[in-house]
Structure 1
Amino acid sequence: MATQISGLDDVLRKMQAIGNQKIIKRLARKAAREAINIVRDAARENAKAIDDKKSSEKIWKNIVSRSGKISNKGAVRERVGILGGASFGDGKTAIITKKEYKSFVGPISSSTVIGLTGGDTRHWRWIEFGTSEQAARPFMRPALSENTDKVTDKFVQSFRRELDAVLGVIK
């Protein structure tokens, strides 16, 4: 999802004044992380609202934001996702809560056990997208679509602040 932002001539001048691509990328990554955390927090709130109180698994506890690699060396990638993914994998890996993981002793080796804060929440995709027998109750997609403007504004604000801080040190 690419977004074009206009009216940032002063930001481009500041980036040229810094001149070091590594510093600029570090600042952009920090600003992007601050911005994407808005989506992460909204997704957590949405997941809490539909959480099954009878279940020990808590989807909202496994929602995280992460940096990602991208082939374009000058670009920054941030994403929001759910730990444990959406796959039931090879059938050899068990997912339990971190609390259970600390005292795990079982018939399978601990290398095939993953401890996640919210427990085994790989069923999230059935809630998000629905099934043939269950209507969808999306919580991830609205978190992004309802906060796009906030995320963009936060990124611009944070990036400008970081650029000004670095330029203050350079001068």
Structure 2
Amino acid sequence: MADWVEYKLTGADELSAKFRGLAEEMRRKVVTPAAKDAMALVLADAKNRAARIDDPETANFIPKNLAIVERKAIGVEVGAVVMSVGVRKRSKGQGGGNTFYWWWVELGTEKNRAKPFLRPALANNREAVFKEFLNSAKYQLIKLGVN
């Protein structure tokens, strides 16, 4: 089961017009850091939620393994920059340890109820994510000298 978020940004006509006039490489230079800045809000909320759920008695700690990842293969396929927040795979003794069980916490099992931390982090921050994306993209355009 995959949750996808797709929005048409309204109120971003000026930014959209500037994007159309840019070369593909310049668009990537604007969109990639803007997407990372926007998803940082989701990452912070997911870490906070996971810290409240995760068992402090264990050596493994889910919030330490949460990260923002650019999905380049999917991005090439759909023709866009794709950023996601997810749980990294690590070995025992590294960072937050081997938190292979994170999806059982997120989705639940037959015997344990779900305690989602990733899906609500995105769902509750959608508006803030888009506002941050727009602000960051405008900043990146100014930084690159595009008027």
**TM-score (ref. length: structure 1):** 0.76
Q: Which amino acid aligns with 2:15?
A: V
> How far apart, CA to CA, are the structure 2 residues paired with 1:29 and 1:43?
21
Name the residue aligned to 1:50.
Answer: 53
Name the residue aligned to 1:15.
Answer: 19
- Three-state SS of the structure 1 residue aligned to 2:85 is strand
Name the residue aligned to 1:38.
Answer: 41
Counterparts of 1:79-118 in structure 2, within 5 Å, are: 79-84=84-89, 95-98=91-94, 117-118=95-96
Greater Rg over alpha carbons, structure:
1
- Three-state SS of the structure 2 residue aligned to 1:57 is coil
> How far apart, CA to CA, are the structure 1 residues paired with 2:78 and 2:24?
9
Greater fraction strand:
1
| Structure 1: stretches of 5+ with no match in the other structure | 85-93, 99-116
Given the alignment, which residue of 112, 115, 139 partners 1:134? 112
Runs of 4+ in 1 over 6 A off after TM superposition: none
Which is further off, 8-17 or 30-39?
A: 8-17
**TM-score (ref. length: structure 2):** 0.88
Q: What fraction of aligned residue pairs are identical, expressed as a percent?
A: 29
Q: CA RMSD in A?
A: 1.8
Q: How many residue pairs end up in the alignment?
A: 141
> How far apart, CA to CA, are the structure 1 residues paired with 2:12 and 2:27?
15
Decide whether aligned partners of structure 1 residues 72 and 160 sit closer, same or farther in structure 2, where only a CA change above 3 A counts. farther
